[in-house]
Amino acid sequence: MRAFRGGSDPRSTHDPRTVFVVDDDIDTRQSLELLICSQGWQPQTCGSAQEFLARGRPFVPSCLILAFSSTDSSCLEVQKRIARECAEISIIVIADYGDIPTTVQAMKAGAVDFLVKPLSEELLVAAICQSFVRSRASFDRGMEMRDLRNRHASLTPREQQVMVLVVSGLLNKQVGAELGISEITVKAHRGQVMQKMKAASFAHLMNMASKLRMTRSMTPGAISA
């Protein structure tokens, strides 16, 4: 990969997107840091996966350039661990070798791309851009799920019970019979559920329940506040 070619100060830009680099080779880390800065992104470099996992990460779309080494047989397991613990971060694998089995395994484990050193700037920048698209989608899904879980947590235990039963297809009078409350009380709880969940319609509430994976198997007595 060619060294950074100069020009205006790349650090003067304010793109919040972050590119992490994990590579034990300091020259590669420095070269990648310059390239990342030249694109206006924020670089964070680490010498090991352990250092990366121990470091705090900004809550913004981001990607990770993860180096594989032919002398380290644990690289694929490291990639899988990072994918589990940092699901919102897209991973680009760079390696000093490029056999087909390793490439296939890395891609099956979720890598956006597998690039072999010496790196092409154009290919790497394209892979980073693709990673940001994927990370943004994952980031947005995560934000949506956190919001849904927070709304659900705002329901009282009884409202959670009512929500499970109504999205399971029970009529108000059936919900009342199962919970031992009146149909009027069920309607009141149902109205509170719609309001607190910010559901525009019953179909919208059903969609939320599907995303929360709420089913009839969640028995009323098992639902917590």
Query: Mean pLDDT, to the nearest integer, of 181-195?
Result: 96
pLDDT for res 30: 96
State residue 220 phi and psi, 5-degree precision.
Answer: -50, -40
C-alpha distances (whole Å) from 52 to each of 64, 82, 169 are 10, 9, 47
Residue type, 106: A
Q: Is 69 in contact with 24 (CB distance < 8 Å)?
A: yes
Q: Are strands 42-46 and 18-22 parallel, antiparallel or unpaired?
A: parallel
pLDDT for res 225: 28
State residue 100 phi and psi, 5-degree precision.
Answer: -60, -45
pLDDT band at 8 (very low <50, low <70, confident <90, very high): very low
pLDDT for res 223: 38
Better-scored residue on pLDDT, 201 or 70: 201
Number of residues that this document lists for the chain: 225
Token couple for 83: 């994918």
C-alpha distances (whole Å) from 150 to each of 102, 146, 164, 183 are 40, 6, 16, 27
pLDDT for res 215: 62
- pLDDT tens, 66-110? 999 888 889 999 999 999 998 889 999 999 888 899 999 999 999
Closest by Cα among 104, 39, 95, 105 to 65: 95
CA distance 183 to 200: 22
Cβ neighbors of 149 (< 8 A, separation 6 or more) are 212
Q: What is the pTM of this model?
A: 0.68
CA distance 219 to 199: 22
Token couple for 13: 């830009």
Q: Is 66 in contact with 39 (CB distance < 8 Å)?
A: no
Closest by Cα among 109, 115, 114, 56 to 80: 109
State residue 115 phi and psi, 5-degree precision.
Answer: -115, 140
State what percent of residues in the chain have pLDDT above 70. Answer: 88
Average pLDDT, rounded, for the chain? 87
Q: Is 98 in contact with 117 (CB distance < 8 Å)?
A: no
Cβ neighbors of 77 (< 8 A, separation 6 or more) are none
User: From the CA atom positions of the chain, what is the Rg in Å?
Assistant: 24
Cβ neighbors of 105 (< 8 A, separation 6 or more) are 76
